[in-house]
Structure 1
Amino acid sequence: MSLPVSPFSSDGDRHFDGLAEKFAGSLYGGPRGALRLALLDRLLPEMLRLDDQPVLDVGGGLGQLSGWFARRGHAVTLVEPAADMLDHARQALAGQPITFVEASLQALPQRAADPWPLIVCHAVLEWLHDPRAALAILAGHLAPGGQLSLMVFNRDALRMSNVVKGNLEKALDDRLEGTGKRQRLTPISPLTHDQIETWSAENGLTIEAVAGVRVFHDYLRHPPTTEADWTRLVALEQRYCRTEPHWRLGRYLLYTLVRTDTATCSRRS
Structure 2
Amino acid sequence: MHPDSKSINSESISYELTQAGDRYFDGMAEKFSRSLYQAPRGELRLAMLDYLLPEILYLEGQKVLDVGGGLGQQAAWFAERGHCVTMTEPSADMLSYAQTWHRDVKTLPEEAITYLQAPLQRLTEHAAGPWPLITCHAVLEWLGDPQAALTCLSHLLAPGGQLSLMVFNRDALRFSNAVKGNLEKALSDRLAGKGKRQRLTPISPVSHAEIELWSAENGLRIDAVAGIRVFQDYLRHPPATPAESATLLALEKQYCRHDPHWRLGRYLLYTLIKPEIVK
**TM-score in terms of structure 2 length:** 0.91
* Match 2:82 to one of 69, 73, 76: 73
Partner of 1:28: 37
Q: Does 1:247 align with 2:262?
A: yes
Deviation for aligned residue 1:262 = 3.0
Cα deviation, residue 55, structure 1: 0.1
Report the aligned-residue RMSD: 1.2
Distance change in 2, residues 1:19/1:131 (3 Å): same
Q: Which amino acid aligns with 2:154?
A: A
Aligned position for 1:260: 275
Question: Structure 2 vs 1, CA of residues 145 and 164 (structure 1 numbering), >3 Å: closer, same or farther?
Answer: same
> Residue 222 of structure 2 corresponds to which residue in structure 1?
207
Deviates more, 1:120-129 or 1:18-27: 18-27
Structure 1 runs of 4+ with >6 Å offset: none
Which of 79, 85, 90 does residue 94 from structure 2 map onto? Answer: 85
Distance of aligned partners of 1:93 and 1:162 in 2 relative to their CA distance in 1, 3 Å threshold? same
Amino acid aligned to 1:196: I
Shift of 1:96: 4.7
Distance 1:262 1:182 in 2: 45
1:135 aligned partner, one-letter code:
L
> Whole-Å Cα distance in 1 between the matches of residues 48 and 111 of structure 2?
23
The answer for the alignment partner of 1:266 in structure 2 is none
Q: Deviations over 1:83-129 (max 9, x none)?
A: 01101111111235000000000110111011000000000000000
Kindly indicate whether residue 23 of structure 2 is the aligned counterpart of residue 14 of structure 1: yes
Q: Partner of 1:159 in structure 2?
A: 174
Distance 1:81 1:242, change over 3 A: same
Report the counterpart of residue 171 of structure 1 in structure 2: 186
SS in 1 for 2:125: helix
Q: Tell me: CA distance 1:26–1:6, structure 2 relative to 1, closer, same or farther (3 Å).
A: closer
Deviations 1:112-166 (A, max 9, x none): 0110000000000000000000000000000000000000000000000000000
**Counterpart contact for 2:71–2:95, Cα < 8 Å:** yes
Residue 194 of structure 1 aligns to a residue whose secondary structure is helix
Sequence identity percentage: 66
Counterparts of 1:197 and 1:262, CA distance in 2 = 21
- Do the aligned partners of residues 226 and 116 (structure 1) sit closer, same or farther apart at CA in structure 2, a change above 3 Å counting? same
**Counterpart in 2 of 1:58?**
67
Larger deviation, residues 129-138 vs 84-93: 84-93
SS of 1:137's equivalent in the other structure is helix
Give the partner amino acid of 1:123. A
TM-score by length of 1: 0.94
Deviation per CA, 1:195-241, whole angstroms, max 9, x where unpaired? 00000000010000000000000001111110110000000000000
Matches within 5 A, 1:127-142: 127-142=142-157
Name the SS of the counterpart of 1:256 in structure 2: strand
Shift of 1:261: 5.3
Contact kept? 2:15, 2:197, Cα under 8 Å: no
Is the 8 Å Cα contact of residues 14 and 196 (structure 2) preserved in structure 1?
no
Q: Which amino acid aligns with 1:202?
A: E
**Aligned match of 2:233:** 218
Stretches of structure 1 that go unaligned for 5 or more consecutive residues are 264-269
Structure 2 residue corresponding to 1:229, chosen from 235, 244, 251:
244
The SS at the match of 1:211 is strand
Equivalent residue for 1:238?
Answer: 253
The answer for unaligned runs of 5 or more in structure 2 is 1-12, 104-109
The one of 146, 159, 165 aligned to 1:144: 159
Matched AA of 2:43: A
Q: Which residue of 2 aligns with 1:267?
A: none
